[in-house]
A = this chain, B = another copy of it.
Amino acid sequence: MFEAAKLGRRVPKEFFAAQVPELRTALLDAQFRLGASKTGVIVLVAGVEGSGKGEVVNRLNEWLDTRGVQTHAFWDQTDEEIARPRYWRFWRAMPPRGEISVLFGGWYLEPIEHRFRGQCTDADLDEELTRIRQFERMLIEDGALVVKFWFHLPEQEQRKRLKELARDDRSRWKMLPDKAKFPEEYSSFEQIAERVLRNTDTGIAPWYVIEATDRRYRDLAVGQTLLRAIEGRLAHPEPPPAAPLSTAPSLPPTAEAQVTLIDRLDLGHTIERNHYDREMKRLRDALNERAWAAYKAKRSTVMVFEGVDAAGKGGTIRRITSAIDARLYRTITIAAPTDEERARHYLWRFWRHIPRAGYLTMYDRSWYGRVLVERVEGFATHAEWQRAYNEINGFEEQLTENGIIVLKFWLQISPDEQLARFKAREDTSYKQHKITDEDWRNREKWDDYKLAVNEMVIRTSTEYAPWHLIAGNDKRHARVEVLKTVVQRLDAALAEKPSRAAAGTACERRRAARPTRPST
């Protein structure tokens, strides 16, 4: 894989000087047209130590219009980052459509370093690379352009550069492997890099391996490759063909074959007043206690509340929040996205609100809007909501790996009960604003929603984040069920030992506490 990066390719000074003005003009022009497009560009700058990644980025900043270009290094992890799932850092760095983010190392840095230091096995590494492929595919299907550069040096050249760096006062690079070990380390690193590149060199996000011996060759190759990639995307802006999707089977058109999970839900449960009061008192006390215990154990909880209109989501959330210390929770109501959110992948707006370790976040509606309202109303294309199931499962898996307890509730009521509640809302002064024409329109699509909910539950009820279907015709029953489930799930999670560490990937589990090695 790296043979072509050891040919000693060079570019003479005069040739470089002659090429640059034209290249720069073309880059600025492409960048200007990019600004009006729906494509965000992610440039990954990775490679062996000493290959001059910083110099390359400086060159890009010189050639491009720095308006619309952001550079992100992933050196010093802040405690806000440590207290959240690993990929939160990368979501923070996502460019809006029309702009460019240059990422040093990005999501490749850690897996390579962990493997190099022997903190994980090849199998662990491959597992991580599978996640990376899915992650990149997700971004690209959403319209992003991912351009990945790997800078390489022959052994002798790298050794020379590292020596220079170690001498240089300004360099962060202070270590030099001892002479005898160097060939072995070089070869070990190269093997790992090759494994990583081979496994993530996909048709939609290929690696560009560039020899870094000659700086002019290196920079010119980067500039021209980036230019070609952007121009190519602008000429063919449509996203790549979607990955094959696991689709639901076609159902025979008989009523019984069409039965859904929702139909099977017994809405007849009721709880009488006295029993309810006793149960709620007990559950509220238990919940408050568990919330503090989770805070002390640094375990976060994410609760998702979905349900048909007027199913009682708000009231149920209020029963939870009023039982917990207000400093421990946050409620997030999902309404229309802001323009900053619309400019990025639809999961970005959920990533940005991920709680720090130890807190509870309640979502009144959630990322499931993608496969519910957006599907039924046609706001998302068929391909978009179809691939959302996998994207959401991946998202929740990452939350869980980070030790976050994910609870998902679907609140169901019958059409008759909904009608009664709609009418009651219209008759109660302070509830009138809760009922709109849209609610009446949604009601007409009852069956479409039922099918969407059925598929959502089947395809996103995972071992680590199952759906809890709640019969809501009787509000008291629904509230007791929800609180009981929350307490049980918190109990189970808090009983796990050791809590967070056990949940990560294999590489994560073995992650040493030592800081990331600075790269040049």
Other-chain contact of A170, B73, B289, B317 (Cβ < 8 Å): B289
Is A102's CB within 8 Å of the partner chain B? yes
Contact with B along A44-61 (1 / 0, CB 8 A): 000000000010011101
Is B170 within 8 A of A318, CB to CB?
A: no
Is A378's CB within 8 Å of the partner chain B? no
Is A104's CB within 8 Å of the partner chain B? yes
With known contacts A25-B430, A430-B25, A331–B66 Cβ distance under 8 A: yes
Closest Cβ–Cβ distance, residue A174 to chain B (whole Å): 13
Is A446's CB within 8 Å of the partner chain B? no
Other-chain contact of A326, B28, B58, B68, B340 (Cβ < 8 Å): B58
Identify which of residues 422-477 in chain A touch chain B, using a CB-to-CB cut-off of 8 Å.
Answer: 429-430, 433
Other-chain contact of A65, B32, B66, B78, B314 (Cβ < 8 Å): B314
With known contacts A78-B79, A80-B79, A330-B71, A321–B61 Cβ distance under 8 A: yes
Identify which of residues 310-348 in chain A touch chain B, using a CB-to-CB cut-off of 8 Å.
Answer: 314, 317-318, 321-322, 324-327, 329-331, 333, 338-340
Other-chain contact of A54, B62, B80, B317, B326 (Cβ < 8 Å): B326
Q: What residues of chain B lie closer than 8 Å to A57, measured between beta carbons?
A: 326-327
With known contacts A61-B322, A289-B170, A326-B102, A317–B66 Cβ distance under 8 A: yes
Is B54 within 8 A of A322, CB to CB?
A: no
Closest Cβ–Cβ distance, residue A32 to chain B (whole Å): 5
Is B321 within 8 A of A29, CB to CB?
A: no
| Interchain CA distance A249-B321 in the complex, whole Å | 56
Q: What residues of chain B lie closer than 8 Å to A289, measured between beta carbons?
A: 170
Contact-residue bracket for chain A:
35 or more
Is B102 within 8 A of A61, CB to CB?
A: no
Q: What residues of chain B lie closer than 8 Å to A329, measured between beta carbons?
A: 71
Is B364 within 8 A of A67, CB to CB?
A: yes
With known contacts A71-B327, A340-B340, A318–B58 Cβ distance under 8 A: no
Q: Could you name 24 residue pairs across A and B whose Cβ atoms are closer than 8 Å?
A: A25-B429, A25-B430, A57-B326, A59-B322, A61-B318, A61-B322, A65-B314, A66-B314, A66-B331, A66-B364, A67-B314, A67-B333, A67-B364, A71-B327, A73-B326, A73-B327, A78-B78, A78-B79, A79-B79, A79-B80, A102-B326, A170-B288, A170-B289, A170-B292
List residues of chain A with CB under 8 Å of any chain B CB: 24-26, 28-29, 32, 54, 57-59, 61-62, 65-71, 73, 75, 78-80, 83, 102, 104, 170, 288-289, 292, 314, 317-318, 321-322, 324-327, 329-331, 333, 338-340, 356, 364, 429-430, 433
